Structure formats: C-alpha cells, structure tokens
Structure 1
Amino acid sequence: MVQGTTSDAGKSTLVAGLCRVLARRGMNVAPFKPQNMALNSAVTPCGGEIGRAQALQAIAAKVELSTDFNPILLKPNSDTGAQVIIHGRSISNMEAAKYHDYKKVAMQAVLQSHQRLESQFEVVLVEGAGSPAEINLRENDIANMGFACEVNCPVIIIADIDKGGVFAHLVGTLALLSEAEQALVKGFVINRFRGDISLLQSGLDWLEQYTGKPVVGVLPYLHSLNLDAEDAVTLDNHVTDSMLSISVLLVPHISNHTDFDSLRLHPNVDLRYVRHGEQIAATDLIIIPGSKNVIGDLAFIQNESWQGEIIRHLRFGGKVLGICGGLQMLGKAIYDPSGIESSQKEIQGLNLADFTTTLMHSKTLTQITGECLLGKTPIAISGYEIHCGVSEGDALANPFIRFTAHPNGISHDGFISEDRQIAGTYLHGLFDSPDAAKTILDWASDGRLQAPAFDLVTHREQQLERLADSCEQYLDMDKILALMLNNEIE
C-alpha cells in the first residue's frame, strides 16, 4: 500500500508507475483504492463508476476496468455532503457526519472487493487517500491505516520534497501513527526531487537511522508529466501558436474535466478556464462542462453574469458547447423534484435550446460508440455517459450523436442548433477520439484549425512508459518486490 504524507504527494502517480513496471515484467497486477473522493470518474465495461485515478492505473496495469478497483467513491455535491457510490452504483447522498457513521458498513464493501482482487491477481497495489495522520478521521478509517491493519498490508509512505519540509512530513506522519501502524510502514519514497542527489544523502542517512525505516527511492521531478488528474484542475496551457481559443467555465462542482486534457495539450489550441470574478474574454468556443450539482452551478453562472456574456458571444458569431451538466444548462429549465443533487427543486436554464431536463434517481452509466453529426459527414466517436438527468424537447430532434449501439436502446444524443452555433451532448471523452475531436475543432474554428487533433491515448501511453522508466531507475525495485511478495524488505 502506498500512503502519503499529504494530498498530492504522488500516491496515484507512484501506483500507476509501479503498475506499469510490474505489467512490463509480466506480472498480473491490479490497482486498488478503498475509498476515493473525486469528481473525475470513469465508467467500467459493466456500467459501474470508479475514480479516474484507478482507471488510469488499470490502463497502466494493462487490465480491464473493474468496480473492485475503487469500491467506495465519494462525489462531493456540497461543502459537507457527497453522493456515495459503492461497487460502482450510487446508493444515496450523505452529509459528512452521517457517512462517518456509515464507514463500518462501507468497510465490508471494501473488504469484499479486496478479497476478490486477491483471488484474481498476483499483486494488488493499494493507494491510500490524503494522509494517514489525520487524527480526527482515524476512527472507522477505511482509506488508510484502518484498511492496512485490517488486511495486514505493508505500507510505503511517499512525500513531496518540492513543497519543502519533507523530513518533518515523514517523521511527523510516522510519529502520529500507533505502534501497530508504525510496524506496517516498511519504507519511504521521496518524490519530485530536483538537483544533485548527493546533497540529499546526509538527510536520507539521518532519516533511516532516526526511524529505522529504509528509503526505497528518490523520484526526480518529471517535468511536463501529463496524466489524467484524480481531481484537481490542471489550468491554462497558454500556447504561443494558437489557431483556436477555447474558454471553459470553471464552475464550483466541475466534473470530469479530464474531457479537456487533449485540448490542453494541443499545440495549436489556447485553452483557458474562466474563474470566479472574471469576464469571458474574446474566444472562439465557450464550453460549459459537466457538473455534480447542476442547479447550483447554473446559479453560479447566472450570478457571475456569464449568461449575458454567452449571449453576446453568440451574437458575434462564437460557438458554445455544453457537455453533460453543461448540456442540461443550455435548455429552458432543470427540475430536481426528488432532491437528487440539491435542495433547490428547479431553476430556469440558459434558454438557448428548446428542451428541459429532469434529474432522476437512476444514473446512466455506459460506454458507447456512435457517429458525431457536427461535421459535413458523420465521424466515428466513442466515450462514456455519467448522468442522472433525462432531457426532452424539440431541440433534441437534431442530435449531436447517432449511436451505433446503446445499452439502453437509445438512438441519439444531444442537439445541434439550427444556426449550428450551439451544440450539446451527454458524452464525456468526446475529444479523446482524434477524428471526432478534429471535427468538433473544425466546427469551433470555422475551418481555421488545420492541424490534426491531439492523440491522447498515444500520449498517455508515452507518459506511462516514461513514468515506469523513472520508477525502474530511481526506486529499489528489488526491495519493493520483496515487500510485495514476502511482506518484508530483504
């Protein structure tokens, strides 16, 4: 198990790197995160929902996605509440205090998944969440040491030296663990090191002598490493040779912003996020992204006065694209009679298309293929759906996508406005298909963007191989393998 001294210490990345190292060595390996809190998620082939980081780790391990890789997923829809997803399916919304009491039940789901993975895989690489030294969260913990103690799982703790205070982070984290928990910690990894390693050696020697735990590796700072983010938004790219400018509205509960990774990495696309208090600058395309609280985020857009700026943008010939929750916001109204996402029962939409949306208890979770109808000829497109809304209205008669096959028997999705300035779709990952992405970018740029679309799949593979190479070079893999297979470092 990889635990971290802080959030963003490098747990997800280290597990992904180790998954690829072991897969390259012919080992059958599975990633596992008992509990994840994130708004970036992925859909498994069986129609379940897991955290995006575990999907990336599964790709690194070269195994098919499974809901057992992330049995508990929490998707925040307010500052104190979240949708609780167990084994890929939403069970309810819970406030933090109620979920804290529910953890005893959640632990059983965690252990069931872990047991299944242990029976199917040679190695299970576990990722912790946040820090194991959060004193207020230790009771009923299922994400860090609570899980490790339950299954007697050896632990490596990773810390980010780039933030400073790495020795205090590691020693302090260890000191705040119980004796039984400390015994499970078998070593440390220091992440994101820059400079001459010889200048760090005296500190490493001290750390090993003081704690009695070995440092099993010092990973360098990998500049421009671009992998799917677990949750935090990777902001603007600021390209110098821009042929197309895109503005994404950064709403408070933005979900699946990995939709925009291929745009952020495109050498000829200037992708910018419009933040709280900012105006929407002159741009070619405005994207309204997915949302975990679509009514709350639509109210945010209206309060920011972005609605009037969107209308002005359209008046000057600009394009607008809504994705999932963003699609729903483009319509005349959104209804939430059962309080699926918020206490507000309804809200007037941006009124840019003739349809309404009603949020339902049942959530659509599918991987789909179809044809994008935005260009002159239909272009193959693939992606996934994660939404609990049903949209109905005349605008949907001119769809964005025609499905080749849909598990729910649906023939089409989304809409394209009559003047072809506005489009919307429930499909996530729509820019990951290079041909479809090029069609959408050609539409947005009125044909100015002649460069091919960015191939995110190939790029991801290159980045995973680069990460694995770094792990091979800078980690003591013999010690780590001994720990994995024998529960002790030789």
Structure 2
Amino acid sequence: MSDFSAVMPMLPTHQTLMVQGTTSDAGKSTLVCALGRILADAHIRTAPFKPQNMALNSAVTADGGEIGRAQALQAQACRLAPTTDMNPVLLKPNSDTGAQVIIQGKAVGNLPAQDYHAYKKTAMNAVLDSYQRLQQSYPWVLVEGAGSPAEINLRANDIANMGFAEAVDCPVILIADIDRGGVFAHLLGTLACLSDSERARVVGFVINRFRGDIALLQDGLDWLEEKTGKPVLGVLPYLHGLYLDAEDAVSQQQVEQDKDKVINVVVPVYPRTSNHTDFDALRVHPQVNLILVGPEQTPPPADFVILPGSKNTRADLNWLQTQPGNWPQYLQRHLRYGGKLLGICGGLQMLGESISDPHGLEGPAGSSVGLGYLPLISELKADKTLRLASGELRLPDQPVVVAQGYEIHAGISLSNDDIQDIGCGWLSNDGQIMATYWHGIFDTPQALQQILHWAGLSDSKTVDFNSIREQQIDRLALSVKQNINWQKLNSALQQFRPL
C-alpha cells in the first residue's frame, strides 16, 4: 500500500468524504474513527459527522446536548470535544415501531416510524445546518452513513446516506464486511440498487475484517475493479480483541479471564437496554467475568449484579419480572446470600418503590411498582437531564475519590432519609445495594476499583479504560493507515466529478 506521509501533501486541502456500508456493522463507524485519528495526527483539522443515527448508546456533549456514542468516540479520535452538530438527528427506539427524536441534541418528541418518514424533510434542515457549521470550521469532514444506501423502502426523503451525499455533493467510500461472506455480492448488489448519479459518487471500495493471505483474494479484487470501474482502496485485516465503544448492539465479544482471581458480574440485557458501554471497562478487566444474560436465559450465580439503563424503564422492568429466569426471585436470593447489587439510571429507578410516567414519555401513561429495594420514588418528566458529571464517590470504609460520568435521563427520583448519600448516588443502609444516575462511572479507574472492592474483589487491579480506548483508537488507525492505498484514494478524490 502507498505511504500516507508521501501522499498527504497531495490530498485536497478541504474535503467532505462520506463512508457508507453495504450492511449495518460493515465498519463505517470504525473507518471514520480511524481516518479521523490519521488525519488529526497529520495536523489536518477534521470533524466527524453522522446526519442521522439510530442508537440507544448516547453521549452528553460539552454544549449540553445528546448525540450517538459512536460520534463521541469519533470526536475523540479527531482529538476534539464532541458537539451536537456532529450528530444532528438521533433516534432512540422506545418500541418496535417508534422512537424518541432528538434534533441537534434536544428531544423534540416521540414519533411512530411512519410519522418520522414524513418528518424527515424537517430533520434535513437541521442536518444541513449542522453540516454547514462544521464545514466552515474544519477543512475535512468525515461523514458516516447509516445502515445501507440500498434499503429501497427508505430511499424517499433519505437524509442518512445518498440523500445527504447528493445534497452536499460529496464523494462516497463503500465499505463491506468480508467476515459475513458474500462481500462481492454485497458491493455489486449495493451499486445496482443506486441511481446513476448516486453510483457515480462511489469513488472506491474498502473490504473490512479480512482473515488470511490477501494473495488468495487478489483475483476477486481484480474482478471487482474490472466489473465496476472503481478501485479497491484497501483491505483491512480482522483485528482480534479490538475494544471500542459500540454504536448500538450489545457486544457478545468474550475476553480471557484470570481464573485465579475472578469476580462474577451478571448484567441482564433487556430489550431497550441503553448505554451498555457502561460495562466496557468491566469487559476488559482481567479479574472480572462479565456475564450478559439475554431473553429466555437463566441468570447464573453472581458476586455482583448490575441493572443497566433503559430507554423504556417500565416496559423493561416488566420484561425483567416476567422472564423465565425469574429475576425478582433471583435478586432476592442473591442479596440473601450477601451479593451486591447496583442500578444505573433506569436500573436505579427499577430498584425503587415506584416509577410513574404520567405524560406517556416512554410508552403508555401510567405507573409501575418497582422492585422495592430502595426508598426511591421516580417520575418521568418532559425535560430530560443532560449533563457531564464530576463529584465524589464516598463508599464506607474507603477513601473518597473524585469520579466522572454523565447523566441522560427523563426522570427524577426522590428519597427519604432512610438511605445513604454517597455523592454520586445512594447506598442502602445495609450496604448491599447501590444506585446512581451516572453513566460511565467505571471509566474512572479509582471509582471502578472501589466499586469492585465494595462488591467483593478486595485486591482489584487498576484498569484505566480511557487509556485503553486511546490505545485501541491508535491501534485501529495504524492498521487502516498501513492497509489503505493512499495514492488510489487521493487520485479518486482528485478525479471525483459527480454526474
């Protein structure tokens, strides 16, 4: 592959480049992340941008809004603080047919899928407004598409893929995941579903997650280039053990554990689990055996159980209470034998006495009886709390530490005096149950160490997931830098002439 340092002076000084995928999870997010770090390290000011994202993993920005977690990671890769302009439309599903719509960081309401399609013309105004601000501030803008541009049923009023590319007149890289199989059919089939002008925007292909000897792939690459007249810009290797914030889907990636010193941590995965990236630091911790328990699965014995956040807390509480694994009985037994229990955000609300949603913000209006482990009463409010958080974690018999996190929730929870205030949350008087509204608290190494100590791991090792995240971004960027043909990419960008 061509050397980036040799090609860099020839790259366009100002460029908007979009990455679209043949499927969901083809590698769009990671390619934008890698390119952002490569350009930032070359002192080319670059901003990430995703017109529309659908995800339950979100982040709070410095300007007090909410965007997709993947765009916050991409901003970090570009060595920037995330802003709401980087993801102007965020959809957070609260049912199979509807979602909360967030425009430029603020929730504007819940819409059924059919109504949102009609709303997309309005959403496009926000998309173009945010894009123009980024374009005026940054020489390069790296745009990530959503899903696939070949979804024929979603083509009308598209703002996420080719609809955006056509509106701003930018070139597109098409990426496909060879690990799924059928990579040439994915690429060729996607092109076949595009219009002539859209097809002309595709300046080249990237094949992702390749394993083995690339020489065995060469015949296919030659065929693809001859068939389409478009270059293969790179073949990216499968990176084992790459740990980066997931855009949405719960990662089932397993990590090798230190079997001599292990604490078993069990987390239920409800249908609307939000911000499961809270557990990434646990996933890579060498002494933690993280066990994710999905539908129809029986939870195993644990030292520590965590109830995660939820986008539809009452519905997910009902799911928890009606699963065959009998979670309420499981939690009672867990606590009776001395186990520890933590609720984060929606999990905090579940641990209380009641959850009311009088305005039907997350589903049908009404109230639900909580699990009753903490003296908390929660009510969902129209005004969502969005803030970066910093403060003390005060656990009994441990030094006070300063922790960081962020809050994203529509509810407020009130307690009586029969509970301990530990700074960033509450602790039951018997010391067995903790609750916090703070997402990301495990990313503070000292907070993670102390919470694991409280949960029973007396000699917890220090794990700094922020440093690990930086190392993983650098590892990804190096792989992409070494496996992209920069000469081909530069030529494609210089020759780009839309129809």
Shorter-chain TM-score range: over 0.9
Which deviates further from its counterpart, 149-158 or 229-238? Answer: 229-238
Deviation for aligned residue 1:282 = 1.2
Q: What does the per-residue CA deviation read over 1:407-438, in whole Å, with 9 as the maximum and x for residues that have no partner?
A: xxxxxx43100010001000000100000110
Counterpart for residue 361 of structure 1: 382
Alignment partner of 1:288 is 2:297: no
Aligned residue number for residue 464 of structure 1: 473
1:374 Cα deviation after fit: 1.8
Is the 2:166–2:198 Cα contact (8 Å) retained in structure 1? yes
Mean Cα displacement is larger for which, 237-246 or 346-355?
237-246
Q: How far 1:454 moved relative to its partner? A: 1.5
1:395 CA displacement: 5.4
Q: Contact 1:243–1:449 (CA<8 Å) still a contact in 2? A: no
Residues 283-316 of structure 1, C-alpha deviation per residue, up to 9 Å, x if partnerless?
A: 1111000000000000011112201110111011
Q: Residue 192 of structure 1 contacts residue 221 of structure 1 at CA under 8 Å; is this kept in 2?
A: yes
Amino acid at match of 1:74: L
Change (3 A) 1:153 1:19: same
Cα pair distance change 1:184/1:238, threshold 3 Å: same
Residues 256 and 286 of structure 2 are in contact (CA less than 8 Å); yes or no, is this contact kept in structure 1? no
Deviation at 1:50, TM superposition (A): 0.4
Contact 1:186 1:488 in 2 (8 A): no
Does the residue aligned with 1:362 lie in a helix, a strand or coil? strand
> TM-score normalized by structure 1?
0.95
The corresponding residue for 1:430 is: 441
State the alpha-carbon separation in 1 of the partners of residues 122 and 279 from structure 2.
36
Tell whether the 8 Å contact from 1:248 to 1:273 is kept in structure 2 after alignment: yes
Distance 2:418 2:473 in 1: 40
Partner of 2:68: 51
Provide closer, same or farther for how the CA distance between residues 70 and 485 of structure 1 changes in structure 2, counting only shifts above 3 A. farther
Say yes or no: does 1:20 pair with 2:37.
yes
1:387-406 equivalences under 5 Å are: 387-394=409-416, 398-401=420-423
Does structure 1 residue 130 correspond to structure 2 residue 152?
Answer: no
Q: Give how far 1:355 is off.
A: 1.4
1:234 is displaced (CA, Å) by 1.4
Q: CA separation of 1:484/1:75 partners in 2, compared to 1, >3 Å: closer, same or farther?
A: farther
Summarize deviations over 1:152-195 as a string: whole Å, max 9, x none: 11001000111111110000000110001001111100111111
CA deviation map 1:208-230 (0-9, x unaligned): 11101111111111111111100
Q: Provide runs of 4+ in structure 1 moved above 6 Å.
A: none
Matched, 1:60 2:77: yes
1:181 maps to which residue? Answer: 198
| Change in 2 beyond 3 A, CA 1:51/1:485 | farther
Secondary structure at the residue paired with 2:271?
coil
Distance 1:367 1:414 in 2: 15
The answer to whether the 8 Å contact 2:231/2:488 transfers is no
Change (3 A) 1:181 1:355: same
Counterpart CA distance in 1 for 2:494 and 2:275 is 35
Report if aligned partners of 1:353, 1:417 keep a CA contact under 8 Å in 2: yes
Structure 2 SS opposite 1:351: coil
Mapping of residues 438-453 of structure 1, within 5 Å: 438-445=449-456, 448-453=457-462
- 2:408 counterpart residue number: 386
CA distance in 2, matches of 1:365, 1:388: 9
Instruction: Sort the Cα spacing of 1:440 and 1:485 in 2 relative to 1 into closer, same or farther, 3 A.
Output: farther
Q: Which runs of 5+ in 2 are unaligned?
A: 1-17
Question: Kindly tell me: are residues 192 and 393 of structure 1, through their superposed partners in 2, closer, same or farther at Cα, counting changes over 3 Å?
Answer: same
* 3-state SS in 2 of match to 1:200: helix
Query: Do the aligned residues in 2 keep the contact of 1:395 with 1:415 (CA within 8 Å)?
Result: no
Match of 1:6 in 2: 23
Q: How many residues align?
A: 476
Root-mean-square deviation (Å): 1.4
Amino acid at match of 1:333: S
Aligned equivalents of 1:364, 1:328: Cα separation in 2? 14
CA distance in 2, matches of 1:219, 1:365: 37
Determine if contact 2:418/2:429 at 8 Å carries over to the other structure. Answer: no
2:269 matched residue in structure 1: 250
How far is the alpha carbon of 1:485 from its aligned partner?
6.9
**Aligned match of 1:323 in 328, 338, 344?**
344
Give 1:63-142 correspondences, 5 Å limit: 63-142=80-159
1:470-489 equivalences in 2 (<5 Å): 470-481=479-490, 483=492, 487=496
Where does structure 1 lack aligned partners over 5 or more consecutive residues? 402-412
Counterpart of 1:463 in structure 2: which amino acid?
Q
In structure 2, what is the equivalent of residue 269 of structure 1? Answer: 288
| TM-score between the two structures when normalised by the length of structure 2 | 0.93
* AA at the equivalent of 1:323: I
Q: Give SS of 1:84's match.
A: strand
